[in-house]
Every structure is written in structure tokens, then in C-alpha cells.
């Protein structure tokens, strides 16, 4: 067990609510502390019990939570304002949040115990900010793409990346599709990515050299993917493409905030595409965005996103388009996520450093290769490589220890729809056979890292 926040002041702020606090306050505390649960105390600090977001959800669903106009929104039990029908007095040993009480029952501290709890690879952290924005969007009834958060999110995200136009869409996949259609890529054109190139051993991404070899007269676009937060050699690739009149669509789905030569990735391509799926650095649940400096491309992207419908003439479809819009509810979450992106990136970097410290020296464990100064990667998911013949055993042992891990992606050339483009990609094959993603979320602390290290030691040492 690790002692978290032993002083009373910080206890009160993060993990403890007074019994008379409103449901809203309790929900927000449960969200902010990332545990989804809070201890509840009486006015004199005696422990009254605990409540979780699940308890509150049930209370809301079965009607035991009501709005009290004088006291705010409270859980009620037969007319008492302090609400606690759902307050649980039982503290299970396997609860993450454990109270420390003195002999007279006063709360003197809390313990965060993650020695046995299940840990996910990538759990989104929804705070009070996401919750309030969501409620705002919900209560406003602007639940489609027409609400104000969509434009706000577009503006704030494009300015975070440093690009002139942002077009938010329903996921990262359609962002890529929209970009290619807007750039006029069609049947018979070649795009480097489905025209497969191997990745570099150091960057784990395509390089200028590999792109040069793969380009033909039919090449219309290149999609450099910044994999696992590691920037591709995007500056030289973009320069090469400009000279050859080839479009560049950056795939930044896994690399929000990474930089190449001091510039944020997403600034280089004609269009750059982001994903805001639930496991991404910034999430809207499902969501994505296309960024571009070109006014014309931005106009095309917007038109195509919206059924190809003229922005000036209702129901007049200028061309065949799609409905790839994002909702106001999703954008509301995204905006709050974006405020916290620097904190998220710092947290992920710290987690990766903890794993490195704990796993360094275990036979066969390799860490992502260091990159030269030009590259400033971010950590999307912490990852390591292990000998291919041991990976399954490591992942199984982690599963036994209630720790979720993921294998790296398969090389594109091995997937059935792309078999016609299959070619030998030894670096991709090696990465794919040896890579493991480790839990990278607010749930990862020293104790979890220790559990992961025990798993690796057990199998590999
Ligand atoms: C590199 C990359 N590109 C594109 C996508 C697609 O994004 P989405 O899942 O939002 O469709 C992902 C995915 O998750 C990704 O990792």
C-alpha cells in the first residue's frame, strides 16, 4: 500500500466528502481523483462510509437522488437532505481507497491500494471539467454537430497544433478518408502506406529513404504515421513530396503534441489527421480532426464532411459527400481534455520513466530507441520489446496478475485486404512480434509498476 496525501487538508480535497455535500460535488470529486469513489465523513470527521460513481448512478436511475431546491442536488433517503441511502459502510479489502481511522472512528488518512486491482492499458480520465462541459452541452439540447463546442474545439485544437483550420469529424479513420478525397486521390492513384514501406528501426516510422524508393509516377499522396508518439522524419519527407507534387497527409492519431525540428507534428502535411478515440492522448470517446493551412482544402473538407452540401444554399449538394460530423457532446469533452493535455503528456512521460527504471536490466527487455535531437516524441502508450518467443508468456502472466497489456499492431503487409501489396518488411515484422503496450493512465503508480516488474521478472529473469 502507498500512503497518499496524509495531511487532512489534501485528504479533504481529493478523496473525502462531508456527508452534507451535494451529489454534484461528490460526483466531481470521484471524477477528479480518478478512483471513481470517495470516503464520506460526518461534520466531526468520523468516517460515515464510502460512495462510488456506480452507487450514484444507481441512485439516479432508481430515483433516490432528487433535486432539492434549497440545498442543491442531494441524494435523499425518506426526506432527509443528506443522503445516503447508497452510502456503503462496508469497506472491502479490495477497494482501492482505504480509510485510516483512529480508535474513535475519526478519519486520519487514506491509503491507495492498487496491489490487486485490475489495471487497463488506457483508461480515459474524465474530470469535473469534462463533466461540466458535457452537462452544459446536454442541458442546452444542442446534441448534434450544430452546438457551439464543435467550433470551439476546432479552434482550440488547431491553435494547439499551430495550424490555420480545423475540421472536426467523427473519428480518425474518416479524417484520413476525408483528407484523401479532399486532395483528389482516387482510383488508380498510389498512396504510400497502403503501398507499403517498412519502418525504420530507430524511429519506428517511415523514412525519406523508404518513401523515395516506393514513389512512382502514380504516387498521389504519402501518409507518414507518427507511431506510438514517435515522429516520423516528417520535415524531409514533406520537402521531397512538395518538389514532386505529391500530397502529404500526416497521421498524428497517436502523437498529439510530439515535435519534429521544434515544430508540432500536424504542421507539416497538406492535411494532418488526428484521432480522439477513448485511448488517445486527447479523447472525445470517438472523434477526429483534419487540420490544414489551406483555406481551399478546409472548405472542401467541411463540404465533404457535411453531405457535400453547399454552406450557402440549403439541401443543395454540390458533390457526393459524407456525414462525418462530430457531435456537440463529444466536442464538449474534447475541449476540456485539451486544457489538460500538458498534464496528460507529463503523466505519460513519468509513467514510461517509471517502467524504464523498474524493467531495466531484465534479460531481453528493450525500450523504445533514443531519438536524435530533432525528434521530440511523446508517450502515447508506454511500450517495451521482449523476445518474440517469450511475449505470449509475459502477456499471459500479466493477465493473471490482472494487468492488461496489448501486443503491437500487425504489419500492414500481413493483413488480408493488403495482401496484393505484400512485401518484405523485416523491421515492421520484428517490432510487431516483440512489442508490448503497458498500462498508461492515471491508474498507474509505483505499486502498479512494481506488479508489472514482478510479471516481467517472473517470465524473463
Ligand atoms: C495511427 C492511427 N491512425 C488512425 C487511427 C484511426 O482512428 P480512429 O480509431 O479514431 O478511427 C488510429 C487509431 O486508433 C491510429 O492509431
As a whole number, mean pLDDT of residues 121-130 equals 97
d(CA 279, CA 122): 5
Unique residue bearing C-alpha cell 491508474: 443
Q: How many of the other CB atoms lie within 10 Å of CB of 128? A: 16
What percentage of the chain exceeds 70 in pLDDT?
Answer: 90
* Residue 157 cell numbers, joined: 485544437
pTM, to two decimals: 0.93
Interval between CA 392 and ligand 1 midpoint (Å): 25
Interval between CA 276 and ligand 1 midpoint (Å): 8
The residue to mutate among 122, 251, 253, having the most atoms of ligand 1 within 8 angstroms of its beta carbon, is: 253
* Residue 441 cell numbers, joined: 493512465
Interval between CA 76 and ligand 1 midpoint (Å): 44
Model confidence over 346-397: pLDDT tens digits? 999 999 999 999 999 999 999 999 999 999 999 999 999 999 999 999 999 9
As a whole number, mean pLDDT of residues 219-243 equals 98
- The band of 80, judged by pLDDT with boundaries at 50, 70 and 90, is very low
- The band of 40, judged by pLDDT with boundaries at 50, 70 and 90, is confident
Residue 309, SS3 per DSSP: strand
Interval between CA 96 and ligand 1 midpoint (Å): 32
How would you list the strands of the sheet with 375-376, edge to edge? 263-264, 259-260, 375-376
Interval between CA 60 and ligand 1 midpoint (Å): 35
The residue to mutate among 124, 173, 223, having the most atoms of ligand 1 within 8 angstroms of its beta carbon, is: 173
Q: First and final CA of the chain: distance in angstroms?
A: 25
Question: DSSP class of residue 447?
Answer: H
Dihedral angle sign, alpha carbons of residues 210, 211, 216, 218: positive
Residues with CB under 6 Å of ligand 1 are 171-173, 225, 251, 253-254, 275, 277, 288
In this structure, the strands spanning 435-437 and 406-407 are: antiparallel
Interval between CA 340 and ligand 1 midpoint (Å): 21
Model confidence over 315-334: pLDDT tens digits? 999 999 999 999 999 999 99
Most confident of 24-28, 61-65, 194-198, 353-357: 353-357
The residue to mutate among 229, 232, 275, having the most atoms of ligand 1 within 8 angstroms of its beta carbon, is: 275
> Which ligand 1 atom lies nearest to the CA of residue 226?
1
As beta bridge partners, residue 407 has: 436
- Residue nearest atom 1 of ligand 1, based on CA coordinates: 253
d(CA 36, CA 54): 8
- Residue nearest atom 15 of ligand 1, based on CA coordinates: 253
* Residue 56 cell numbers, joined: 450514484
> Which ligand 1 atom lies nearest to the CA of residue 288?
10
Interval between CA 250 and ligand 1 midpoint (Å): 12
> Which ligand 1 atom lies nearest to the CA of residue 277?
10
In this structure, the strands spanning 247-251 and 271-275 are: parallel
> Which ligand 1 atom lies nearest to the CA of residue 286?
10
Interval between CA 112 and ligand 1 midpoint (Å): 34
Mean of per-residue pLDDT scores for the chain: 91
- Residue nearest atom 8 of ligand 1, based on CA coordinates: 172
Q: Say if residue 308's pLDDT is above 90.
A: yes
pLDDT at 6 (0 to 100): 37
- Measured in residues, the chain has a length of 461
Amino acid at each position: 500500500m502507498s500512503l497518499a496525501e496524509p495531511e487532512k487538508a489534501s485528504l479533504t480535497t481529493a478523496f473525502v466528502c462531508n456527508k452534507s455535500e451535494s451529489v454534484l460535488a461528490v460526483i466531481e470529486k470521484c471524477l477528479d481523483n480518478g478512483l471513481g469513489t470517495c470516503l464520506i465523513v460526518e461534520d466531526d470527521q468520523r468516517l460515515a462510509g464510502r460512495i462510488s460513481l456506480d452507487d450514484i448512478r444507481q441512485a439516479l436511475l432508481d430515483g433516490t437522488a432528487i433535486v432539492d431546491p434549497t440545498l442543491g442536488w442531494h441524494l435523499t433517503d425518506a426526506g432527509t437532505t443528506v443522503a445516503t441511502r447508497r452510502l456503503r459502510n462496508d469497506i472491502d479489502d479490495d477497494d482501492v481507497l482505504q480509510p485510516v481511522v483512529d480508535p474513535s472512528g475519526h478519519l486520519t488518512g487514506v491509503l491507495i491500494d492498487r496491489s490487486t486491482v485490475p489495471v487497463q492499458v488506457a483508461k480515459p480520465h474524465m474530470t469535473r471539467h469534462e463533466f461540466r462541459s458535457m452537462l452544459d452541452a446536454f442541458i442546452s439540447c444542442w446534441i448534434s454537430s450544430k452546438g457551439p463546442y464543435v467550433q470551439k474545439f476546432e479552434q482550440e485544437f488547431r491553435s494547439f497544433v499551430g495550424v490555420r483550420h480545423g475540421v472536426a469529424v467523427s473519428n480518425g479513420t474518416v479524417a484520413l478518408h476525408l483528407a484523401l478525397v479532399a486532395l483528389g486521390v482516387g482510383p488508380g492513384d498510389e498512396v504510400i502506406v497502403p503501398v507499403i514501406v517498412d519502418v525504420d528501426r530507430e524511429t519506428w516510422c517511415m523514412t525519406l529513404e523508404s518513401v523515395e524508393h516506393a514513389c512512382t509516377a502514380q504516387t498521389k499522396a504519402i501518409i507518414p504515421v507518427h507511431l506510438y508518439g514517435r515522429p516520423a522524419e516528417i520535415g524531409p519527407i514533406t520537402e521531397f513530396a512538395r518538389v514532386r507534387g505529391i500530397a502529404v497527409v500526416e497521421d498524428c492519431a497517436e502523437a498529439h503534441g510530439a515535435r519534429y525540428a521544434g515544430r508540432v507534428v500536424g504542421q507539416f502535411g497538406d492535411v494532418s489527421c488526428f484521432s480522439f478515440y477513448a485511448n488517445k492522448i486527447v479523447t472525445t470517446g470517438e472523434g477526429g480532426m483534419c487540420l490544414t493551412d489551406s483555406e481551399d482544402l478546409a472548405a472542401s473538407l467541411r463540404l465533404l464532411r457535411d453531405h457535400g452540401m453547399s454552406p450557402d444554399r440549403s439541401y443543395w449538394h454540390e458533390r457526393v459527400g459524407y456525414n462525418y460530423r462530430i457531435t456537440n457532446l463529444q466536442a464538449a469533452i474534447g475541449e476540456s481534455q485539451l486544457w489538460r493535455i500538458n498534464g496528460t503528456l507529463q503523466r505519460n512521460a513519468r509513467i514510461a520513466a517509471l517502467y524504464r527504471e523498474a524493467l531495466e536490466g531484465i534479460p531481453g527487455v528493450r525500450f523504445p530507441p533514443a531519438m536524435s535531437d530533432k525528434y521530440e516524441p511523446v508517450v502515447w502508450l508506454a511500450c517495451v520489446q521482449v523476445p518474440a518467443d517469450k511475449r505470449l508468456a509475459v502477456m499471459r502472466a500479466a493477465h493473471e496478475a490482472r494487468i492488461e497489456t496489448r501486443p503491437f499492431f500487425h504489419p500492414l503487409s500481413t493483413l488480408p485486404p493488403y495482401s496484393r501489396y505484400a512485401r518484405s518488411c523485416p523491421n515492421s515484422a520484428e517490432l510487431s512480434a516483440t512489442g508490448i503496450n503497458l498500462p498508461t493512465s492515471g491508474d498507474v503508480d509505483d505499486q502498479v509498476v512494481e506488479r508489472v516488474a514482478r510479471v516481467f521478472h517472473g517470465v524473463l529473469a
